[in-house]
Amino acid sequence: MTHPTRNPDALSAFNAYEPAYVSLETDEDGVIPESLAATLASGGVKFIYLAPTLQNPTGRTIPLDRRKEIARIIQRHDALLVEDDPYGALRYRGEDLPPIQTFAPENVVYASTLSKVFAPGLRIGFCTAPEAIRRWLVRVKQGTDLHTSTFNQALAAEYLSGGHLQRRLPKILDLYRPRQAAMLDALDRYFPKTFRWSRPDGGMFIWVEGPRGMDMAWVYRAAVERNVAFVPGKFFYAREGKGIETMRLNFTMAGEAALDDAVRTLASAVSACSRGREEDRRRNPASWAA
Ligand SMILES: Cc1ncc(COP(=O)(O)O)c(C=O)c1O
């Protein structure tokens, strides 16, 4: 089964250049190395984009051995990987893992952000890159916006050097960890057994897969009528028609009681859509037979 390996923001950033996307095969441990090797062997790949740690939208993390294997493959093909890591600091369980960049520094541009651990409105991110690419990135950035707001950079510098991140991060984790647990409990309690969902070690999201053919765009409409929203998973796929039965739930923005209510409400939207589908199937058997 193919799972998403990208997020809508990255897709919209890439779309401006009208790329031809090639989706990699993934499993519960992220991208499958053989799929990466085969894609690179077929040639013509400008770069690979991965979010290997607590990925948006699935919450998956690529384990250590697979990271090393991916590093070996990109080195063998002299390929370039963009390693996007906005969620690595939001780990509630388990060990931190080294970025893939550690194992192939000359083949990886590693990028992260202060958006998840300070403030998204600051628009401060950072990257490390092989020297030749770093020089180009500086030029392109200057050509794009001259420079990032110096006021915002000063705030970020104080946040980092003044020890604020170290003090705040445990508080952020203590806030989000029980929210994730509450959402997972509520899914166990209210969602039909025909659904599956991820149990990530951190991040902001839970990835839910419904039964084949259930279009989450219908569920979305029914949920919004009930004042609950989520992101239909199809927006995380490069190819149209993929992931219609999936959804991404965010657990960071509400308290535990509200999350329990929201998931119960979402489950009622799901059952309303399932009933609607069954009724339609009974009334129009011919259109369902196709
Ligand atoms: C996969 C991924 N990459 C990068 C980002 C970067 O966010 P920002 O542009 O706020 O630094 C996000 C945040 O939503 C994300 O989900």
- Give me the pLDDT at residue 209, please: 97
**Helical (H) or strand (E) element with 56:** none
Mutate which of 53, 56, 90 for ligand 1 pocket (most atoms within 8 A of beta carbon) = 56
Rg (CA), the chain: 21
| Ligand 1, atom nearest to 124 Cα | 11
Distance 86 CA to ligand 1 centre (A): 6
Indicate whether residue 2 lines ligand 1 (CB < 6 A): no
Please enumerate in sequence order all residues whose Cβ is within 8 A of that of 217, keeping only pairs 6 or more positions apart, or say none: 232, 234, 244
Indicate whether residue 51 lines ligand 1 (CB < 6 A): yes
Q: What is the pLDDT along the chain (290 residues), one digit of tens a residue?
A: 344 444 557 888 899 899 999 999 999 999 999 999 999 999 999 999 999 999 999 999 999 999 999 999 999 999 999 999 999 999 999 999 999 999 999 999 999 999 999 999 999 999 999 999 999 999 999 999 999 999 999 999 999 999 999 999 999 999 999 999 999 999 999 999 999 999 999 999 999 999 988 999 999 999 999 999 999 999 999 888 899 999 999 999 999 999 999 999 999 999 998 877 777 777 877 766 65
- Give me the pLDDT at residue 6, please: 46
- Give me the pLDDT at residue 102, please: 98
Indicate whether residue 125 lines ligand 1 (CB < 6 A): yes
- Give me the pLDDT at residue 276, please: 72
Distance 7 CA to ligand 1 centre (A): 8
Distance CA 105, CA 88 (A): 18
Q: Which residue is associated with the tokens 């993929």?
A: 242
List the beta strands (DSSP E) in the chain. 26-27, 30-31, 48-50, 81-84, 108-113, 125-128, 196-197, 205-209, 231-232, 246-250
The structure tokens listed for 243 are 């992931």
262: helix, coil or strand?
A: helix
Which residues pair with residue 202 across a beta bridge? 91
Cis? peptide before 57, omega within 30° of 0 = yes
Asked if 57 and 248 touch (Cβ cutoff 8 Å), the reply is yes
Distance CA 225, CA 216 (A): 14
Indicate whether residue 56 lines ligand 1 (CB < 6 A): yes
Look up the pTM and report it.
Answer: 0.92
Domains of the chain (ranges, CATH numbers):
8-162 (3.40.640.10), 166-289 (3.90.1150.10)
- Give me the pLDDT at residue 1, please: 38
Minimal-distance CA residue to ligand 1 atom 11: 113
Distance CA 256, CA 179 (A): 5
- Other C-beta atoms lying within 10 Å of the C-beta of residue 193: 5
Residue 31's identity, in one-letter code, is V
**Helical (H) or strand (E) element with 5:** none
Distance of CA 120 to the CA centre of its chain: 16
- Give me the pLDDT at residue 32, please: 98
